[in-house]
Chains A and B, each alone.
Chain A
């Protein structure tokens, strides 16, 4: 999911950076005292999960957990993902500083979108809640794939071709993420419902 440096055109980079600034501003505005630990934990989880490399498919894959972050954080997912990506760019040269904006958008935008789309169902709990939690995890990955393809669209690579490749490669990740999101949701509902306050707020 990390787009490397030097691939994208300046216009796309600038657009991504601008969107990230706006998203981060909204996220920070919503950040309150009680949310800080949640943001930090999920930022760290994202930081680690995107490093773990599972050798499936043509290119090894890693988890993204952006559906889960959206579910738990809403808009706060934007600063959380931004920080994790910034550190990855700095420490491991994953992605890069110039593509930081675009990479943040491709992973954080689906988180926010899924938060708003699935929140009503998650609130209901029970079966609809479970289905929504799974769908939240899986959909976020699809959307990320589509956004990556869209970002690469302007580099001359065919949109459908790239999108197909990204989506095909991420089918296993979608399923795994859906299951992880579902289990974390159920677990937190039972053990630490206050972690889910973002949904009910």
Chain B
């Protein structure tokens, strides 16, 4: 008899507190602690990196380390600015050896994030910049200007293929940069309410498992 009452008591306690917790979970917007997110993309011969604490806090003055993903050799290091950004020229040895770059950001208090930039993702830019292409002059030029410039060049047939490719690469990069960024955002696993509820479910399930095994044990009272 007391056994049964005890069970009810447990159920009641679990029920009340569970509801409270549920409320807490629902009220807090998809909540996140601080995981560091790094992403990087190439534009021309420069690689831009951005580091932030998820969801949207820049990592200020974080240490950035660029490594060869295979050997772990450190190619260069730097510090993020107040927007969490850091950019660097593609190191020549990396371009030459087609290294995949591992970009690691270390924020204070043991927070750390990394991003793998595949050689294929930054090398076209590097090659394009290597050609005698317009280069720095084209920095803020909108795509509308670059595209017509490339078109007559092609019809004329006098300009070599490389220059055309370089111009196209530049335009494409500029156009695709926001999409790249968006894709990066999408690949991040964000903490969602179902995740949190799932976690709580696991904990309650484990509670059940523990209760089951303890209930099998002979009572020693």
Residues of A within 8 A of B13 (CB): 37, 41, 192, 195
A3-B110 in contact given A33-B214, A44-B200, A91-B198 (Cβ < 8 Å):
yes
- Does B111 make an interface contact (CB < 8 A)? yes
Partner of B110, one of A43, A52, A83, A151: A151
Q: A39 and B207: CB pair below 8 A?
A: yes
B202 at interface by CB-CB < 8 Å = yes
Are A4 and B112 neighbours in the complex by a CB distance under 8 Å? yes
Question: Is B14 a contact of A40 with CB atoms below 8 Å?
Answer: yes
Q: A45 contacts which chain B residues (CB < 8 A)?
A: 21, 24
Interface residues of A (CB under 8 A from B): 2-8, 31-34, 36-37, 39-41, 43-45, 47-48, 50-53, 55, 58-60, 62, 83-84, 87-88, 91-94, 148, 151-152, 155, 162, 165-166, 169, 192, 195
A58/B195 in contact, CB under 8 A = no
B93 partner residues in chain A, CB cutoff 8 A? none
**Docked pose: A157 CA to B111 CA in angstroms:** 13
* B53 near A60: Cβ-Cβ < 8 Å: yes
Q: Which of A40, A55, A151, A192 contacts B204, CB < 8 Å? A: A40
5 tightest Cβ-Cβ pairs between the two chains A and B: A40-B207, A3-B110, A4-B112, A52-B31, A41-B17
Total interface residues on B, using CB and 8 Å?
46
Chain A residues contacting B25 (CB-CB under 8 Å) are 48
Question: Quick check: B203 and A87 within 8 Å, CB to CB?
Answer: yes
5 contacts between A and B (CB under 8 A): A4-B36, A32-B214, A62-B33, A83-B206, A165-B108
Most buried by B among A34, A51, A83: A51
Known A6-B114, A51-B32; contact A40-B203, beta-carbon cutoff 8 A: yes
Q: Kindly state the separation between the CA atoms of A92 and B31 in the bound complex, as whole angstroms.
A: 11
From B33, B191, B207, name the one whose CB has the most chain A CB atoms within 10 angstroms.
Answer: B33
Q: Out of B21, B191, B214, B215, which one reaches A41, CB within 8 Å?
A: B21
Bound-state Cα–Cα, A148 to B24, Å: 27
State the CA gap A140–B113 with chains docked (Å).
27
Q: Pick the residue among A37, A91, A155 that contacts B10 (CB under 8 A).
A: A37
Known A-B contacts A33-B211, A53-B33; the reply to A41 vs B107 at CB < 8 A is: no
For B200, the chain A residues whose CB sits under 8 A away are 44, 47-48
Complex interface residues of chain B between 26 and 55 (CB less than 8 A to chain A): 28, 31-36, 53, 55
Task: Say yes or no: A152-B14 contact (C-beta < 8 A), given A60-B34, A84-B203.
Answer: no
Contact, CB under 8 Å: A48 / B21: yes
Report whether B35 and A37 are in contact in the complex, using a CB–CB cutoff of 8 Å. Answer: no
* Residues of A with C-beta under 8 A to B204: 40, 44
Interchain nearest-CB distance for A168 vs B (Å): 11
CA distance A99 to B95 in the complex (A): 34
A142: min CB distance to chain B, Å? 14
Determine the chain B residues whose CB is within 8 A of the CB of A84 once the complex forms: 199, 203
Known: A3-B111, A4-B111, A47-B199. 19 other contacts (CB 8 A): A3-B109, A4-B35, A4-B112, A6-B114, A7-B110, A33-B211, A36-B211, A40-B207, A48-B28, A52-B28, A53-B55, A58-B108, A59-B111, A83-B206, A92-B195, A94-B33, A148-B109, A166-B109, A169-B109
CB distance from B80 to the nearest CB of A (A): 13
Is B189 an interface residue when CB atoms closer than 8 A count as contact? yes
